[in-house]
């Protein structure tokens, strides 16, 4: 089993729920917390905005200059089943790369919506960073509590009670713990 930011056993212990709820229900909360945290962390990631295919050669297009190199192995997500997974780069341009795909039919260049992602190697494993794991646990607890008692609410930025616990302040409560690991591109705008 792959390491996760919050395990089912950790969340069960933290909440004191024992085996009252099924693993699948608790796992959904753990995975949601991890997804929320991962979306804000800094990875060596590029957005795939379009792709095309000629034979078994796929071309992935990006929204910014890349620093990929020929022979590098990247991991592709959310770009379609023929493109997803680990791919070895065969050609590099300023805003595109070419990889071998399992696609047999040619397809013209077309948009990928929502954007796919291409990940190059990242030299940190966030699972090993206590601040990231604690932030994920706090998010998981908030999600769990919102599922169980939706009327508990939270506090809005103007210090007024809010009926929605999972609002815009969800990440604000853990941003300080994640500050050193946040994606600088996600902080603009």
The answer to whether residue 3 is domain-embedded is: no
3-state secondary structure at position 136:
helix
Domain boundary residue among 119, 142, 162? 119
Average pLDDT over residues 105-113: 93
pLDDT of residue 9: 95
pLDDT at 152: 57
Which tokens hold the place of 112?
A: 């990928």
pLDDT digits over 143-174, tens only?
Answer: 998 887 755 555 556 666 555 667 777 888 89
Do the beta carbons of residue 163 and residue 153 sit within 8 Å?
A: yes
For residue range 52-63, what is the model confidence (pLDDT) as tens digits? Answer: 999 889 999 999
For the segment 1-14, the average pLDDT, to the nearest whole number, is 86
Task: Write the secondary structure of 5-19 as one string of H (helix), E (strand) and C (coil).
Answer: CCCHHHHHHHHCCCC
Q: Are 61 and 109 in contact (CB under 8 A)?
A: yes
Is 50 in the same domain as 36? Answer: no
Q: Where among 96, 119, 142 does a domain terminate?
A: 119
| Domain end (from 119, 144, 179) | 119
Average pLDDT over residues 103-114: 90
pLDDT value, residue 88: 96
* pLDDT for position 168: 72
Per residue in 77-102, pLDDT (tens digit) is 999 988 999 999 999 999 999 999 88
How far, in Å, CA of 171 to CA of 156, rounded? 12
- 137 and 177 in a single domain? The answer is yes
Q: pLDDT band for position 14 (50/70/90)?
A: very high
pLDDT at 184: 84
Global pTM? 0.77
Residue 59 maps to which CATH number? 2.40.30.20
Residues 115 and 58 in one domain: yes
Please tell me the distance from the alpha carbon of residue 145 to that of residue 166, in angstroms, as a whole number: 10
DSSP 65-119: -----TT-EEEEESS-TTT-EEEEEEEE-SSEEEEE-S--S-EEEEEEEEEEEEE
The answer to whether residues 114 and 132 belong to one domain is no
Instruction: Based on the fold, state whether residues 114 and 133 are members of the same structural domain.
Output: no
Please answer whether residues 107 and 140 qualify as being in contact, where contact means their C-beta atoms are separated by less than 8 angstroms.
no
**Domain enclosing residue 143, as ranges:** 8-42+124-187
Count how many domains the chain has: 2
Q: What are phi and psi of 91, to 5 degrees?
A: -155, 145
């Amino acid at each position: 089993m792959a390491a996760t930011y919050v395990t089912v056993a950790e969340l069960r212990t933290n909440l004191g729920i024992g085996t009252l709820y099924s693993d699948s229900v608790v796992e959904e909360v753990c995975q949601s917390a991890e997804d929320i945290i991962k979306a804000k962390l800094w990875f060596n990631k590029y957005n795939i905005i379009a792709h095309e295919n000629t034979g078994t050669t796929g071309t992935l297009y990006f929204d910014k200059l890349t620093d990929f190199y020929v022979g590098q192995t990247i991991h592709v997500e959310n770009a379609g089943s023929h493109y997803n997974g680990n791919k070895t780069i065969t050609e590099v341009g300023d805003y595109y790369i070419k990889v071998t795909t399992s696609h047999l039919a040619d397809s013209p260049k077309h948009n990928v919506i929502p954007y796919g992602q291409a990940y190059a190697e990242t030299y940190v494993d966030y699972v090993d960073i206590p601040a990231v794991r604690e932030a994920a646990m706090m998010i998981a607890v908030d999600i769990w509590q919102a599922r169980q008692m939706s009327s508990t609410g939270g506090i809005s930025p103007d210090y007024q009670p809010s009926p929605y616990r999972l609002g815009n302040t969800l990440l604000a409560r853990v941003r300080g713990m994640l500050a050193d690991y946040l994606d600088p591109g996600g902080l603009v705008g």
